[in-house]
Structure 1
Amino acid sequence: MTDKQNQFPQLFLRLALSVTMLSAVADRFGWWSKENSSWGNMASFKEYTRQLTFFLPENLSTFSAYAATFLEILFPLMLIVGYKTKVAAYGTGFLLLIFAVSMTLASGLKAPLNYSVWVGSASAFLLAVQRHYSFSIDQLNQK
């Protein structure tokens, strides 16, 4: 596959991963309507995180909710503009992999399958191994 054939699917993947993660952040900030919301506020998201991280002490569980939120803002913004895309893609892949494993342990295999968390993680890892990132700051820095 040449770079020309790869550039639009790759951009679409960067945007799809980014919008998906930013949508989850918008949900926990209460920016989605009640009927379109899973959590609706940070307190509910922290409760959900506590369920997924039942194996952690409560203070680490709370920290993980805030850390996940920070990373779910940082990585998508990096992917959208194409800055340190490889780092952002690997970070996204590992973050989603952690979510998928935690969801599987806490809720069973169906939960992460319903939300395509495994697919998101695999997609991010596929993006991470690309040689070039079209329409990106990284591409500008290569010249």
Structure 2
Amino acid sequence: MKIIKLFLRLAIAFGFLSASADRLGMWPKESSAWGNWDSFLEYTQVLNPWVPDTLIPTVGTIATAAEIIFAIFLIIGFKTELFAKLSGILLLIFALSMTFTIGIKSVFDYSVFTASAAAFALSFLKEKYLEVDLLIAKANKSKV
């Protein structure tokens, strides 16, 4: 079970980091979905047609910052259950936005519901393994 939890943490985290790197232009163009920030913001507008154009850069920035922060905390295992739940919620919002704006096929093609479900499943795995949370728990226990 420990290895499965670690695998889930890393798979979700590196998925977030890969997507963030793509929109920041860090992947080669031939293997890129967006390739740059402007293309990502255009896609963000497509997925959020009810958001005013002036707020799209803010929405894109918040989503990207959340993905990077969630990824870092999942990698190091800090507040794993919380950040797994937040990751599941973020991915579910993304999946639903995709479903209602561009259709359900792309959600299944990119396994967004699967990633969301994996994040929620991770939030239920309580045993600590290679996590900062484990170190914090041990430090708190030694103080008692």
- Length-normalised TM-score, structure 2: 0.93
Counterpart of 2:120 in structure 1 is 125
Shift of 1:33: 0.5
- Report how many residues are paired: 138
C-alpha RMSD over aligned residues: 0.9
Tell me how far apart the structure 1 counterparts of residues 133 and 53 of structure 2 sit (CA, whole Å): 39
Gaps of 5+ in 2: 139-144
Shift of 1:130: 1.6
CA contact (8 A) 1:50 1:62 kept: no
Q: Percent identity?
A: 45
Q: Are 2:28 and 1:33 equivalent residues in the alignment?
A: yes
- Length-normalised TM-score, structure 1: 0.93
Counterpart of 1:91 in structure 2 is 86
Gaps of 5+ in 1: 1-5
AA aligned opposite 2:130:
F
Which is greater in Rg? 2
Which contiguous aligned blocks of 4+ residues in structure 1 show a shift greater than 6 angstroms?
none
CA contact (8 A) 1:132 1:139 kept: no
Q: C-alpha offsets along residues 5-54 of structure 1, whole Å, 9 cap, x if unaligned? A: x1011101100111111000010111111110011111110000000001
Aligned positions of 1:96-111 closer than 5 A? 96-111=91-106
Tell me how far apart the structure 2 counterparts of residues 121 and 132 of structure 1 sit (CA, whole Å): 20
Counterpart of 2:60 in structure 1 is 65
